[in-house]
C-alpha cells in the first residue's frame, strides 16, 4: 500500500500548481507535512498549499496549531530626514508610496544647468558627481577634457573666449560652486540625500547630479552659456561613458525663436526639463522659450500650490505647458546653510523653477527602476500617468499633475483635457451667429471614450462636432464647434456637457445679445436726431457767416 504522504506528493508533481503560502504554528499534523516548504523555527512552519486543494475547506478550529496566510509585507519608506514634515510637496506627488518601489540609483545621471551647487552641503555632496580623473585645485586639466579643475561640474563663465580665465566675470571657481542659491535649492529638490537623518530628502534619494554653472550670481545667463554646458556634458558622455538621462533647465524668457538653441536641445539624447514662466501668462499666445519649443525630448512644467491648483504666477498653455508640479513654498537647501536646524538651513522658494526639478527627479526614479526605457517612452509615462483634474482645462497639454507612484506602477486609465473651461462670446448682435471651438484631448494611457456632448442654455447650440461616440488614443483630439445666436438684447449663460465613459466635464458659456434698436451697430433714433441737428447747425453757420473776399 502506498503511504498517504507519497500519494499527496505524486498528486502535486502531476500538475497541481502551488498557491498561497501559509504559516503554521504548533503541532504539525501528518496530513499537512507534504505541503511544508521549510521549518522556520521550533514550532513554526512555512506551507505552500495548492489553490485547488480542498484541504483548507476541511480545516476547523484546532487547539493543536494555528494556520494563517503568510501575508506580504513591504518596507514603508518614510525618510528619517529631520525636516521632512515641511515637505508638503513630496506628499502631494505621492512620493512615499513611490519610494517603496525605488529611491533612485547612483547609476542614473542628471545634469543641472544653473547657478551651480553648494557641493559642501552634507545633505547634497554624496549625490553630486565628482570627476574621478581630475585633481582638484591644481590649475591643470588633468583628464584632458578641455576644462580645468572640473571636480564638481564646471563653470563655463570661466571660458569667455574658449580658454580658462580665472579672472573672467562670474568665474568664482573653476567648477560649479553656487554663488546665488538658486541652483542649490533646485538640486535639493531633485536629489538631496534621503534617509540620512539630515534636513530633507530629494525626489530621488540616490542619484548623481552633474552641475554646470552658466548663470551668474544674479541668476542671468545666455544661450551661448547653455550651449557650452551642453558641450561639457557631451564630453562626459563621449569620454567617460556617462549616461545622462535628463537636463534640468529652470530658466527661460520672452525672446524670439532661436534655431541654434532649438537644434542644440534637439540633439541631446535625453529629456530636457524646463520651466513654464512666472508672470501668469499664456504661453500659447507669447514667445516664451525654451518652454515653447515643439520638441519630442522637452517637458515644460507649470507650478501648482498646496491646494492642487495652478499658482497665480505660473505660466500656462494648452499647447505649450506639458504638466504641472509643486512650485509654491518649497523648502529646500541653500548655499552656506547646513546646520541641523530646519529654519536656519532651509529656504522657502516659489516659482516654476521649483516645479521643473520634481519632473527631473521623477525621470531619475523612472530610469532607476527601468534602465532600458527609451526617452520618448519615459516622457509619455510621466505625462500620461499624472493625476488628472478639470482645474487644468486650458492650462496644460495633459491637464495632469505629477504622481510618482502612478509613474512607477504604470497606472493606466482614461483621462481628458479640454482646451478651455469657459467660453465668453462677448457682444453679438441679435440674430447674428458667432462660433468658437473646444478641443478634447486624450491624456491617459487608456483610450478615452467620449459618449456624447450637449448644451443647456438659451442662445447656444452645437454647430459641429466629431466627439460623440469616439475613442481617442493617447494625445489624439476631437473638436466641438459651439455657436451663439442671441434672440434678444440681454445676457445669456449656459453649459456645454461632455460625457465620457468615466466622468462628465463642463464648459461654462456666456455672451451678450445686443439689440440694433439699442445701439448694436445700426442707426437708432438718437443717432438720427444728432445727425440732423449737426446738418442744420452747419447750414445756419454758412448762411449767417460773412465770407471775407
Contact 62, 28 (CB under 8 A): no
- Per-residue pLDDT at 518: 52
Element spanning 344, H or E: helix 342-345
Chain Cα centroid distance, residue 276: 11
- Per-residue pLDDT at 56: 76
- The neighbouring-strand residues paired with 36 are 47
φ, ψ (nearest 5 deg) of residue 13: -70, -20
- Per-residue pLDDT at 19: 66
Fold topology of 84-409: Rossmann fold (3.40.50)
Positive or negative, the Cα torsion across 280, 283, 286, 291? positive
Chain Cα centroid distance, residue 92: 12
- Per-residue pLDDT at 41: 85
- Per-residue pLDDT at 53: 75
Task: Kindly list the distances between the CA atom of residue 253 and the CA atoms of 292, 294, 315, in Å, as whole numbers in the listed order.
Answer: 10, 16, 11
Mapped onto helix, strand or coil, the DSSP state of residue 52 is: coil
- Rounded CA gap, 531 and 218, in Å? 62
- Rounded CA gap, 126 and 202, in Å? 12
- Per-residue pLDDT at 4: 34
Closest CA to 469 of 491, 448, 451, 443: 451
Spell out the residues 6+ positions from residue 133 whose beta carbon is closer than 8 angstroms to its own.
142, 143, 240
Residues carrying CATH 2.60.40.10, the chain: 416-518
Task: Kindly list the distances between the CA atom of residue 211 and the CA atoms of 28, 29, 110, 230, 416, in Å, as whole numbers in the listed order.
Answer: 61, 64, 9, 11, 37
- Rounded CA gap, 64 and 41, in Å? 16
Domain 416-518 has CATH 3.30.1330.10: no
Closest CA to 485 of 518, 519, 509, 453: 509
Cα Rg of the chain (Å, integer): 33
Spell out the residues 6+ positions from residue 410 whose beta carbon is closer than 8 angstroms to its own.
381, 385, 445
- Rounded CA gap, 290 and 273, in Å? 10
Contact 16, 52 (CB under 8 A): yes
Per residue of the chain (549 residues), give pLDDT as tens: 333 333 233 223 223 334 678 898 999 999 899 999 998 888 889 989 887 777 777 776 778 898 888 876 655 568 999 999 999 999 999 999 999 999 999 999 999 999 999 999 999 999 999 999 999 999 999 999 999 999 999 999 999 999 999 999 999 999 999 999 999 999 999 999 999 999 999 999 999 999 999 999 999 999 999 999 999 999 999 999 999 999 999 999 999 999 999 999 999 999 999 999 999 999 999 999 999 999 999 999 999 999 999 999 999 999 999 999 999 999 999 999 988 899 999 999 999 999 999 999 999 999 999 999 999 999 999 999 999 999 999 999 999 999 999 999 999 999 999 999 999 999 999 999 999 999 999 999 999 999 999 999 999 999 999 999 999 999 999 999 999 999 999 999 999 999 999 999 999 999 999 987 654 444 444 444 444 555 545 555 555 454 433
Task: Kindly list the distances between the CA atom of residue 36 and the CA atoms of 30, 39, 52, 372, 469, in Å, as whole numbers in the listed order.
Answer: 11, 7, 17, 39, 55
φ, ψ (nearest 5 deg) of residue 369: -80, -35
- Per-residue pLDDT at 70: 83
- Give the HSE-up count for residue 320: Cα atoms under 13 Å, Cβ half-sphere: 21
- Rounded CA gap, 481 and 347, in Å? 48
Contact 24, 67 (CB under 8 A): yes
CA angle 480, 425, 398 (to 5 degrees): 45
Residues carrying CATH 3.40.50.200, the chain: 84-409
Contact 221, 215 (CB under 8 A): yes
- Per-residue pLDDT at 78: 80
pTM: 0.84
Alpha helix (H) residue ranges in 108-222: 182-191
- Per-residue pLDDT at 540: 53
Contact 290, 267 (CB under 8 A): no
- Per-residue pLDDT at 527: 44
- Per-residue pLDDT at 542: 57
Contact 466, 459 (CB under 8 A): no
Closest CA to 332 of 308, 312, 351, 304: 351
The three three-digit cell numbers of residue 359, written as one number: 519632473
- Per-residue pLDDT at 546: 44
- Rounded CA gap, 88 and 84, in Å? 9
The DSSP output letter for 337 is B
Classify residue 80 by burial, with Cβ atoms within 10 Å: 0-12, 13-18, 19+. exposed
- Rounded CA gap, 61 and 69, in Å? 15
Amino acid at each position: 500500500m502506498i503511504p498517504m504522504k507519497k500519494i499527496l506528493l505524486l498528486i502535486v508533481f502531476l500538475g497541481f500548481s502551488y498557491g498561497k503560502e501559509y504559516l503554521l504554528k504548533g503541532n504539525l499534523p501528518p496530513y499537512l507535512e507534504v505541503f511544508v516548504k521549510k521549518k522556520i523555527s521550533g514550532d513554526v512552519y512555512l506551507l505552500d498549499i495548492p489553490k485547488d486543494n480542498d484541504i483548507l475547506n476541511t480545516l476547523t478550529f484546532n487547539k493543536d496549531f494555528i494556520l494563517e496566510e503568510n501575508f506580504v509585507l513591504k518596507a514603508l519608506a518614510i525618510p528619517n530626514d529631520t525636516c521632512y514634515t515641511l515637505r508638503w510637496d513630496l506628499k502631494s506627488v505621492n512620493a512615499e508610496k513611490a519610494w517603496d518601489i525605488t529611491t533612485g540609483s547612483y547609476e542614473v545621471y542628471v545634469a543641472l544647468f544653473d547657478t551651480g551647487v553648494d557641493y559642501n552641503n552634507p545633505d547634497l555632496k554624496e549625490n553630486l558627481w565628482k570627476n574621478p580623473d581630475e585633481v582638484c585645485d591644481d590649475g591643470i586639466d588633468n583628464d584632458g577634457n578641455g576644462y580645468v579643475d572640473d571636480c564638481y561640474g564646471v563653470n563655463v563663465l570661466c571660458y569667455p573666449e574658449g580658454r580658462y580665465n580665472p579672472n573672467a566675470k562670474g568665474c568664482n571657481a573653476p567648477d560649479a560652486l553656487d554663488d546665488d542659491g538658486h541652483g542649490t535649492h533646485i538640486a535639493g529638490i531633485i536629489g538631496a540625500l534621503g534617509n540620512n537623518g539630515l534636513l530633507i530628502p530629494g525626489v530621488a534619494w540616490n542619484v548623481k547630479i552633474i552641475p554646470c554653472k552658466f548663470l551668474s550670481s544674479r541668476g542671468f545667463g545666455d544661450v551661448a552659456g547653455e550651449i557650452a554646458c551642453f558641450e561639457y556634458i557631451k564630453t562626459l558622455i563621449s569620454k567617460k561613458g556617462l549616461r545622462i538621462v535628463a537636463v534640468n533647465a529652470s530658466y527661460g524668457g520672452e525672446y524670439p525663436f532661436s534655431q541654434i538653441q532649438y537644434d542644440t536641445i534637439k540633439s541631446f539624447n535625453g529629456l530636457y526639463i524646463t520651466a513654464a514662466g512666472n508672470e501668469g501668462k499664456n504661453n500659447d499666445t507669447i514667445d516664451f522659450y525654451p518652454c515653447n519649443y515643439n520638441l519630442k525630448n522637452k517637458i515644460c512644467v507649470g507650478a501648482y500650490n498646496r491646494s492642487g491648483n495652478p499658482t497665480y504666477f505660473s505660466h500656462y498653455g494648452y499647447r505649450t505647458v506639458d504638466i504641472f508640479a509643486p512650485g509654491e513654498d518649497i523648502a529646500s537647501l541653500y548655499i552656506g546653510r547646513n546646520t541641523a536646524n530646519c529654519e536656519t538651513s532651509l529656504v522657502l522658494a516659489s516659482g516654476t523653477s521649483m516645479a521643473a526639478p520634481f519632473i527631473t527627479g521623477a525621470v531619475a526614479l523612472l530610469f532607476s527602476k527601468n534602465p532600458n526605457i527609451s526617452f520618448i517612452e519615459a516622457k509619455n509615462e510621466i505625462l500620461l500617468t499624472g493625476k488628472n483634474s478639470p482645474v487644468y482645462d486650458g492650462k496644460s497639454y495633459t491637464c495632469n499633475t505629477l504622481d510618482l507612484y502612478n509613474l512607477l506602477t504604470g497606472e493606466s486609465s482614461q483621462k481628458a483635457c479640454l482646451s478651455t473651461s469657459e467660453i465668453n462670446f462677448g457682444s453679438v448682435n441679435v440674430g447674428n451667429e458667432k462660433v468658437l471651438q473646444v478641443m478634447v484631448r486624450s491624456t491617459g494611457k487608456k483610450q478615452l471614450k467620449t459618449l456624447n456632448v450637449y448644451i443647456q442654455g438659451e442662445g447656444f447650440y452645437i454647430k459641429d462636432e466629431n466627439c460623440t461616440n469616439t475613442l481617442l488614443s493617447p494625445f489624439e483630439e476631437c473638436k466641438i464647434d459651439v455657436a451663439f445666436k442671441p434672440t434678444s438684447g440681454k445676457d445669456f449663460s449656459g453649459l456645454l456637457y461632455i460625457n465620457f465613459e468615466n466622468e462628465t466635464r463642463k464648459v461654462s458659456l456666456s455672451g451678450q445679445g445686443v439689440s440694433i434698436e439699442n445701439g448694436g451697430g445700426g442707426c437708432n433714433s438718437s443717432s438720427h436726431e444728432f445727425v440732423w441737428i449737426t446738418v442744420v447747425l452747419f447750414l445756419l453757420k454758412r448762411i449767417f457767416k460773412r465770407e471775407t473776399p
